Amino acid sequence: MKLAKVKAGLIKGAAVVGTLGATAQLALAQNVDFANIGAVPIVEEGLLTLAGRLISYLLIFTGIIAVAYLIYGGLIYITAGGDAEKASKGRVAITNAIIGIIIIMASYAIYTAVINTGKGPGTATNEQINQAPNLR
């Protein structure tokens, strides 16, 4: 009974933290550029930028869930009270959470490496390429 309440609390807490993280940009509403009010930022930024942000938010969200699952597994293990089955269930949850965190960290490292591949010194941006004269 207590375990179900703890699990429900962790899920609710992760949902609140995720919602606060996703809506943090709304707090910056006082910096609205009224000169370009008709511009659509998603179209101006491009699909790759939008996909990059989506992947970043997804990795952050899954990381929060993995840490919450790690805490949940720790609570199961701590509250086992000598019950071998509960202790085993807690150890399995902790192991799975740690594996998940490692996978998420590796995914973020790969994502960062792929995104930063074309941003080294001597690499032109799309804006610079579009402004360059045609060399035929």
Domain boundaries, the chain: 45-116
Is this prediction's pTM over 0.75? no
Question: Distance between CA 83 and CA 13 in Å, rounded?
Answer: 28
Q: List helix spans (H) across 23-83.
A: 41-45, 47-78
Structure tokens at 63: 């990381």
Let me know: does 10 contact 65? Beta carbons within 8 Å.
Answer: no
Q: What is the mean pLDDT of residues 2-30?
A: 57
Longest Cα–Cα distance of the chain, Å, equals 79
Residue 57 CA: distances (Å) to CA of 18, 46, 53 = 9, 17, 6
Residue 89's pLDDT band (boundaries 50, 70, 90)? very high
Q: What is the DSSP letter of 33?
A: -
Residue 77's pLDDT band (boundaries 50, 70, 90)? very high
Phi and psi, residue 101, nearest 5°: -65, -40
Give per-residue pLDDT as tens, 18-75.
554 545 444 445 565 555 555 555 555 667 778 888 888 999 999 999 999 999 999 9
